[in-house]
Amino acid sequence: MKKAILLVAIVAALVSTVFADQITLKNGDRLTGTIVKSDGKVLVIKTEAAGEVTVKFDAIQTITTPGDLNVGLSDGKAVVGSVTTDGDKLVIATKTAGPVEAAKSNVTTLRSPAEQAAYEKSLHPGLMEGWNGGLNLGFAITRGNSETKNLNIAFTANRKGLRDKLSLYENSIYAANDQAAASPHTTASSIGGGVRYDRDLNPRTFVFVNGDFYHDALQSLDLRALFGGGFGLHAIKNPETTLDLLAGVNYTHEHYSSFVLPPVPPGTTVPGVTHSLAGLTLGDELMHKLGKSTVFTQNLYLYPDLSQTGEYRGTFSLGLITKINKWLGWQSSFGDIYVSNPPTGKKKNDLLLSTGLSFSFTH
């Protein structure tokens, strides 16, 4: 009886080995399990004993998979079939085109059927799927010789498809001096946000439409609404760095509650002022990864006024986020909003410097 059980165990082990993926490294080590994925630089294989193991792709001598893998090549083609190696080549036994050979250096992706299904779903997410982003929060309060409070909130959410991207964003700041000797008053109160949709025309160019909204109580700006669109260029696009250049047109409608200095004489009615403007949209957006845990961003947008030549608005921002873990990080940001023709008595620049916690999410 014991011999029968041992024989069954040996046969089961041999069968599981025969029907498992195997990779042999150049140093002679061998791993058996299920190949999950590879990006051409590293390969992930799930083993029974050690779980998921990541190895360098160029350290692999041979690959053998009895089951199908989805293989992406550098020329943009994709083939499906069981994989073996022949020297520095991969041989993919497809069911329709027969054996297809490809140099290892030309392999950009390997995916198991389950990983391929998850990848394809990520390219065409449902309306509530595929979102990722973060919430930045900064808060300060003082009591004693000074009595102030300051709150800054920034929110971003992005949903990427195969050839498009939908972005939501918001940034607000509120600050007040509560000290009685200083005549308690609000020192900052602004909120802005918007939505933008990008659609790739090809790997290098894209079109975009956007709507932006901004309110600044201390500048007497009740609401500025901007609607625009145009073309963009992916000047740099790789996992470490992206740089997009934008050019387009916009329509801006803004309303100021007052163009005069306070205090307003008793009994005097100050009319609001409304502007409707046509303008250009010019800008750049930079993202660069500084190591594994820190991301640097820079955005610049200029809006030259076509209705009043020589007048323009602009926004500039810098950001730095360092991850502490998967969902928590520390952020620092600097922003400048410039208006060439502000209301009488108001300054042209509004500067914002904040730091605080950053909470990221993925759905």
Which residue would you say has higher pLDDT here, 334 or 269?
A: 334
Q: What are the distances in angstroms from CA 284 to CA 228, 248, 297, 318?
A: 15, 12, 11, 12
pLDDT of residue 362: 81
Beta carbons of 245 and 284 less than 8 angstroms apart: yes
Residue 244 has pLDDT above 50, yes or no: yes
Neighbours of 225 (CB within 10 A): 14
As a whole number of angstroms, the distance between CA 255 and CA 282 comes to: 23
The mean per-residue pLDDT over the stretch 290-318 comes to 92
Of 190-204, 232-246, 254-268, the one with minimum mean pLDDT is: 254-268
Q: What is the pLDDT, as a whole number, of residue 14?
A: 41
pLDDT of residue 17: 46
Rounded-to-integer distance, Cα 347 and Cα 359, Å: 33
Candidate from 143-152, 226-235, 281-290 with smallest mean pLDDT: 143-152
pLDDT of the residue at 341: 84
Strands 273-290 and 294-304 turn out to be antiparallel
Q: Is the pLDDT of residue 91 over 80?
A: yes
* Closest by CA position to 346, among listed 273, 241, 245: 273
**pLDDT given at position 347:** 83
pLDDT at residue 97, rounded to an integer: 84
pLDDT of residue 259: 52
Percent of the chain surpassing pLDDT 70: 89
Residue 99 confidence (pLDDT): 92
Residue 57 backbone dihedrals phi, psi, to 5 degrees: -65, -40
Tokens standing for residue 337: 């909003």
pLDDT of residue 317: 94
pLDDT of residue 182: 61
Q: Is 349 exposed, middle or buried, given 0-12, 13-18 or 19+ CB atoms closer than 10 A?
A: exposed
Is a pLDDT exceeding 60 seen at residue 15?
no
Q: How confident is the model at residue 258 (pLDDT cuts 50, 70, 90)?
A: low
Q: C-alpha 358: how far from its chain's center?
A: 14
Q: What is the pLDDT of residue 12?
A: 42
Instruction: Write down the pTM of the prediction.
Output: 0.70
Task: Give the model confidence (pLDDT) of 101-111 as tens digits.
Answer: 999 889 999 99
Fold annotation for 131-362: Porin (2.40.160)
Start-to-end Cα distance in the chain: 53
Is the pLDDT at 263 greater than 90? The verdict is: no
**Domains of the chain: which residue ranges?**
2-123, 131-362
Q: What would the pLDDT profile of 97-141 be if each residue is shown by its tens digit?
A: 889 999 988 999 999 999 998 888 877 777 777 788 999 998 888
Pairing relation of β-strands 98-103 and 312-323?
A: unpaired
